[in-house]
């Protein structure tokens, strides 16, 4: 069986994207047929690379926010999405972009996930962090927004939507039926209403509706307790209410093993679970482990349809 063709988007070329691609390349070629969508001038010779962007990257400085780098990162991602939708590639693996660079380029989206959802027309989607060793996927009910505005986005429907997405994708990632834990929003799951009412008013009703649909879901469970060993061993999927509740725990537990997966898209997309690391860009010591892990997961999912 031929290896899947995966498009590796360079992301923000002022960051560590080019470096981790070059470092990981020998291992990527074992896992897939990799094609870089980015600037070939940022890579060693011999790496297959396409550059569909017209952005002028000649003055981009490593470690500095750049509108041109932001524009190129957007162009590369859009091209990769369209190639996958046309059936000319089997999936996308993204290197990190910089949200300030996107904003400086006038791109009206805060990050990869929102661009992917808009370009593919996905009505329901979620950012997951997945750890293959732990066999655990975490979906985020709210994503790239302030905590103040995120709370308003936590509704019965939005929580239920992420539980359903976990139900669908966890078996594809782990090979087992989904067992979903639903995290609380407030400290101590609000301690019976002492610290807010979102648990009783929103999260518990969403869990009840999920269970009525036959989904194995439990919660709300305090966010600082759900990832402890005795709790997380019960679940292979967790719904976290806000970005940092899921990200901090998974990055501490898995480090560079963590893979970002977008659920709900009509194409396969995984990503590294770290940022552009401007502070070490160009120094030659960036860790490519998350990119390799992301390619492994994308290769596994590439022939399994909608995530």
Length of the chain measured in residues: 307
What are 65-93's pLDDT values in tens digits? Answer: 999 999 999 999 999 999 999 999 999 99
Structure tokens that stand for 117 in this block: 């959802």
| Distance, CA of 279 to CA of 163 (rounded, Å) | 37
Q: What is the pLDDT of residues 157-215, one digit of tens each?
A: 999 999 999 999 999 999 999 999 999 999 999 999 999 999 999 999 999 999 999 99
- Whether cis (ω within 30° of 0) applies to the bond prior to 179 is no
Closest CA to 274 of 292, 290, 294: 290
The two beta strands, 237-240 and 91-94, are unpaired
Sign, CA dihedral 82-87-88-91, equals positive
Please give the pLDDT value at position 128: 92
pLDDT in the model for residue 304: 47
Angle at 156 between CA 192 and CA 200, to 5 degrees: 10
Q: What is the pLDDT of residues 269-281, one digit of tens each?
A: 999 988 999 999 9
The answer to whether 219 touches 184, Cβ cutoff 8 Å, is: yes
Residue 302's φ and ψ, nearest 5 degrees, are -65, -25
Q: Which residues of 117-151 are buried (b: 16+ CB within 10 A; e: fewer)?
A: bebbebeebbbbbbbbebebbbbbbbbeeeeeebb
**Cβ distance 111 to 77 under 8 Å?**
no
- Domain positions in the chain: 1-122+266-307, 125-264
For the domain spanning 125-264, the CATH number is 3.40.718.10
Whether 23 shows a pLDDT value over 90: the answer reads: yes
- Equal fold, 1-122+266-307 vs 125-264: yes
% the chain with pLDDT above 90: 90
Domain covering 1-122+266-307, topology = Isopropylmalate Dehydrogenase (3.40.718)
At 125-144, the pLDDT tens digits run 888 999 999 999 999 999 88
pLDDT, mean over the chain: 94
Give yes or no for residue 2 having a pLDDT over 90: no
pLDDT at residue 306 is higher than 50: no
């Amino acid at each position: 069986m031929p290896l899947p063709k995966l498009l590796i988007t360079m992301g923000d070329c002022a960051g560590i994207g080019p470096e981790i691609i070059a470092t990981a390349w020998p291992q990527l070629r074992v896992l897939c047929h990799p094609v870089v969508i980015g600037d070939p001038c940022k890579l060693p010779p011999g790496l297959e690379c396409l550059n569909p962007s017209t952005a002028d990257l000649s003055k981009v400085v490593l470690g500095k926010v750049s509108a041109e780098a932001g524009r190129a990162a957007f162009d590369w991602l859009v091209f990769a999405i369209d190639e996958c939708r046309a059936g000319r590639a089997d999936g996308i693996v993204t290197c990190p972009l910089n949200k300030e660079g996107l904003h400086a380029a006038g791109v009206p989206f805060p990050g990869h996930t929102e661009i992917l959802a808009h370009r593919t027309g996905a009505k329901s989607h979620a950012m997951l962090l997945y750890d293959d060793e732990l066999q655990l996927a975490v979906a985020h009910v709210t994503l790239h927004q302030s905590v103040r505005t995120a709370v308003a986005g936590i509704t019965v429907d939005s929580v239920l939507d992420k539980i359903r997405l976990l139900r669908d994708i966890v078996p594809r990632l782990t090979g087992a039926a989904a067992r979903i834990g639903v995290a609380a929003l407030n400290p101590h799951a609000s301690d019976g209403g002492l610290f807010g009412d979102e648990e009783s008013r929103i999260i518990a009703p969403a869990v009840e509706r999920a269970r009525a649909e036959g989904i194995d879901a439990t919660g709300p469970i305090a966010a600082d307790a759900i990832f402890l060993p005795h709790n997380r061993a019960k679940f292979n999927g967790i719904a976290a209410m806000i970005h940092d509740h899921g990200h901090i725990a998974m990055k501490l537990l898995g480090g560079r093993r963590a893979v970002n997966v977008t659920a709900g898209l009509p194409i396969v997309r995984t990503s590294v679970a770290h940022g552009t690391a401007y502070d070490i860009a160009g120094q030659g010591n960036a860790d490519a482990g998350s990119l390799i892990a992301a390619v492994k997961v994308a290769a596994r999912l590439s022939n399994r349809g909608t995530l």
